[in-house]
A and B are shown apart, each in its own frame.
Chain A
Amino acid sequence: DTAVSQTPKYLVTQMGNDKSIKCEQNLGHDTMYWYKQDSKKFLKIMFSYNNKELIINETVPNRFSPKSPDKAHLNLHINSLELGDSAVYFCASSQTGSGLLNTEAFFGQGTRLTVV
């Protein structure tokens, strides 16, 4: 029973293409995230959705568009892919909420995107 699952695990594509990464969590969490891990392993948040609403957008190019059809799903669509987009993208989820202390963030296995 995978808690946070994302597909695909590997994605190789040419510059200029459009691609999507899908994420689903079965933990009942109210918040989902996309993080980017670069070649030096640095992890940086890109987006956060709370109950399907975008609450964090960290200066990410508008070629990246997250979509949350429901609380359990957060997809990432990337238009006009560039070489510099090559990285590992992680989906994560946690339970947050006003007045509550945040709990553990669970991460998916990652999607290794290679743009050639």
Chain B
Amino acid sequence: QQQVKQSPQSLIVQKGGIPIINCAYENTAFDYFPWYQQFPGKGPALLIAIRPDVSEKKEGRFTISFNKSAKQFSLHIMDSQPGDSATYFCAASKGSSNTGKLIFGQGTTLQVKP
């Protein structure tokens, strides 16, 4: 059972474009939604995270939009740069549990062309 569904699988944009990656979750007990960025040969690194008490969070060029009623959240990358080319994963967890278990989406490979 895939509890977090992510789309698209891959994305190509021109420099300066605004790629959008979408995720949908099933478990209403999830209350922590991070996005991770992974470069080839490296481990995933936290990019930005949101909790369901807010509908939007912005950090630099990265913005998460959160729709609790639709059980969906998305990542927007403003003014994308070639250095943003990486694989992006959304995830969800029960933030108030003592397990910290992250359920990941399938990942989106982003290529930003110069």
Contacts and interface: CB of A to CB of B under 8 A. Distances in A.
A and B interact physically: yes
Contacts, number: 75
A81 B104 CA distance: 26
A66 interface: no
Given A55-B98, A56-B99, A96-B100, A102 B45 contact: no
A94 interface: yes
Q: Which of A97, A105, A109 has the most CB of B within 10 A?
A: A105
B57 interface: no
Given A43-B89, A107-B44, A33 B104 contact: no
B75 to A, nearest CB: 16
Interface in B60-114: 87, 89, 93, 95-104, 106-107, 109
Given A102-B95, A108-B43, A42 B100 contact: no
A57 B98 CA distance: 14
A41 B87 contact: yes
Contacts of B34: 104-105
Contact of A96 (B44, B46, B97, B104): B97
B51 interface: yes
Contacts of A101: 32, 51, 95-96
A41 B38 CA distance: 10
Nearest to B9: A40
A96 B98 contact: yes
A43 B106 CA distance: 8
B46 A102 contact: no
A17 B75 CA distance: 42
A43 B44 contact: yes
14 contacts: A33-B100, A41-B107, A43-B89, A43-B104, A48-B99, A55-B98, A96-B100, A101-B96, A102-B97, A104-B34, A107-B43, A110-B41, A110-B42, A110-B43
Interface of A: 4, 31, 33, 40-45, 48, 50, 55-56, 90, 92, 94, 96-102, 104-110
